[in-house]
Amino acid sequence: MAALSEQLRRERAELARSSYARRFEVVSLILDSAPITTGRASTRLGYDLRRRHTAAVLWTDPRRPDQAALAQAAEALGPATRARQVLTVIASSSSVWAWLAAAADTDAGALAAATAAHPGVRVAVGPIGAGADGFRRSHFDAVATQRLMSRRPDLRVARFADVQLVTLALQDEQRAREFVTRTLGTLAGAESELRDTLCVYIGEQFSAARAARALAKTAPIVPYVLLSEMIASEK
C-alpha cells in the first residue's frame, strides 16, 4: 500500500507538471502573438479567451519561493473579484501569472484583504481587457506594475490603474503623453490661470468656496467672475 501510494503521488506530480508546462507553452504563444487561433488556444487552456480578462502577476522573494502560497493567493483573487474562472501559470519558482475571467473592477484594498493570509506574496494587477489582445495587454501592464513595485518594497498589492501615470512616465514617454492628452483633453493646453485655479480647487479638497477665498488672498488678479462662478457652483 505504501509503494502504491508513493507511485500515485509521483504520477499526480508528473501530471501536474505536464499540465502546467502545456499551459505555459500556450500562454507564451498568445503573449508572443504567435499564429494560434483563439478557439484552439481556449480549448488547450480550458479557458475562454473571448471573455474579458484581468491579469495578475504574483511573486514571492526568490530566496524563499513558496508555490503553495502563490497558488492559494491566486485562487483567492477569484472570489474577491467575482471572477468566473481563474487561469494560473507557473512562470518561475517564485512567480505565478494569473488571469481572472469576467472579473469586476476591484480596488487594491479589497485585493490586499483577499490575499492577507499570504503576506509574503506580492500582487500586481493589470487593467480589464477583452479577447486575446486584452489577455496580452492586461498581462504586460501587470508586468509593468510589477517592475514599478520592485522599487517600492513596502507596496504589496498594486493595480496598473492606480500607478499607470508613473509607470508610463518611467517606461514610455510617448505613451505618457498620450495618457495626458486622453485624460486631460483640452485642459492640457488651457491657460495657466485656469490650471492654477484647478490646482487650488483640488488642494482645497474640492470646495469651491474655500478655493475662491484662497485665490482671492494669493492671486488677486484672478477675475472676479471666475471666483463668483466657483462659489455659485457650490451653492
- Packed helices 208-218 and 192-203: angle between N→C axes, nearest 10 degrees: 120
118 phi and psi angles, rounded to 5 deg: -130, 70
What whole-number distance in Å separates Cα of residue 85 and Cα of residue 101?
5
End-to-end CA distance of the chain: 81
Residue 230: what pLDDT?
53
Q: What is the dihedral of CA 216, 224, 205, 194, to 10 degrees?
A: -110
Contact 160, 79 (CB under 8 A): no
User: Could you tell me the domains of the chain?
Assistant: 49-183 (3.30.70.2730), 190-234 (no CATH)
Residue 1: what pLDDT?
85
What whole-number distance in Å separates Cα of residue 23 and Cα of residue 28?
9
What whole-number distance in Å separates Cα of residue 170 and Cα of residue 184?
19
Residue 22: what pLDDT?
83
Residues in the chain, pLDDT under 50: 15-16, 223-224
Residue 226: what pLDDT?
56
Q: How far is CA 84 from the centre of its chain?
A: 18
2 phi and psi angles, rounded to 5 deg: -65, -40
Residue 203: what pLDDT?
83
